[in-house]
């Protein structure tokens, strides 16, 4: 299994810009993608995803929606952690209450 290569945002932007500039020179969208991907040194599927992402961000309101989505994801993670902490506290309280019942009185 191959390791993932992380490309910088500048490389991604350059690749998308290069695709847009050379799109008219190719018969199909896919041939333009494969041509640019070879020049950049990434997989065509990777470039296709970058292009789709760039096109999505051009839609009005999309950036706000993505920010909201990220915030919801963060809140769900925090909520999950708090539920786990509450469960631990609940079990600890039950354990110590049980231990207190079994202790002898003076």
Shared domain for 48 and 74, answered yes or no, is no
Shared domain for 28 and 4, answered yes or no, is yes
Shared domain for 34 and 81, answered yes or no, is no
pLDDT at 1 over 70: no
CA atoms within 13 A on the CB side of 101: 5
Residue 63 is assigned to a structural domain of this protein: no
Instruction: Tell if the pTM clears 0.75, that is, is over it.
Output: no
Q: 87, 80 in Cβ contact below 8 A?
A: no
Tell me how far apart the alpha carbons of residues 4 and 16 are, in angstroms, rounded to a whole number. 20
Contacts of 14 (CB under 8 A, 6+ apart): 40
Q: Phi-psi bin for 41: left (phi > 0), alpha (psi -120 to 50), beta? A: left
Q: 23, 32 in Cβ contact below 8 A?
A: yes
Q: Dump pLDDT digits (tens) for 20-59.
A: 999 999 999 999 999 999 999 999 999 999 999 998 888 8
Domain of residue 6, residue span: 1-58
Shared domain for 4 and 49, answered yes or no, is yes
């Amino acid at each position: 299994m191959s390791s993932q290569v992380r490309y910088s945002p500048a490389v991604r932007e350059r690749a998308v810009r290069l695709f847009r500039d050379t799109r008219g020179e190719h018969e199909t969208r896919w041939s333009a993608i494969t041509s640019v991907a070879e020049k950049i040194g990434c997989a065509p599927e990777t470039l296709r995803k970058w292009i789709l992402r760039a096109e999505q961000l051009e839609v009005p309101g999309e950036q706000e929606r993505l920010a909201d989505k990220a915030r919801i994801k963060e809140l769900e993670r925090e909520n999950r952690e708090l539920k786990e902490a509450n469960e631990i506290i609940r079990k600890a309280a039950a354990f110590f209450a049980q231990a207190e019942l079994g202790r002898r009185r003076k």
